[in-house]
Amino acid sequence: AAGVIQSPRHLIKEKRETATLKCYPIPRHDTVYWYQQGPGQDPQFLISFYEKMQSDKGSIPDRFSAQQFSDYHSELNMSSLELGDSALYFCASSASDSEQYFGPGTRLTVT
C-alpha cells in the first residue's frame, strides 16, 4: 500500500539558511499535518491543511510557513534556520478525521 512520502530524507543546512521540506500524502487523503521531533522528545504538532486550506496551527515558529497544493502535496518552508531547528520533521496524512499515517521523516541538521 502507498505510504506518505517525504523528501529529502536528510538535509544539512547552515545557520540562517533556508530549507524546504516536501510531503506527498497517501492517495485520496485530503489532510496533511506537519510535526517536529527534537532529539529524545515527543513529536510536536506544527500545522495542518485540509483541502488546501490551513486548518489547525500548533507551535510553528513565525520563521516557518507551509502550504498545500492542488495535488495535495505540501511543503514546509523554513527560513533563518537556527541550531535548535535540528530535528526530525514528520508529515502525516489522513482521510477526514481518521487515523494519521506518518511518513518516514526528514532529518534536518543545522550547523
Partner 1 sequence: SQQGEEDPQALSIQEGENATMNCSYKTSINNLQWYRQNSGRGLVHLILIRSNEREKHSGRLRVTLDTSKKSSSLLITASRAADTASYFCATDAYGGGADGLTFGKGTHLIIQP
**Distance between CA atoms of residues 50 and 22, nearest Å:** 16
Establish if 36 lies at the interface with partner 1 (CB under 8 A).
Answer: no
Establish if 58 lies at the interface with partner 1 (CB under 8 A).
Answer: yes
Task: State which residue, 39 or 84, has the beta carbon closest to partner 1.
Answer: 39
Establish if 72 lies at the interface with partner 1 (CB under 8 A).
Answer: no
Asked if 78 contacts 71 with a C-beta cutoff of 8 angstroms, the reply is no
**Distance between CA atoms of residues 62 and 72, nearest Å:** 23
C-alpha grid cell, residue 65 = 510557513
- Footprint of partner 1 on this chain (CB under 8 A)? 31, 33, 35, 42-50, 55-56, 58, 88, 90, 92, 94, 97-105, 107
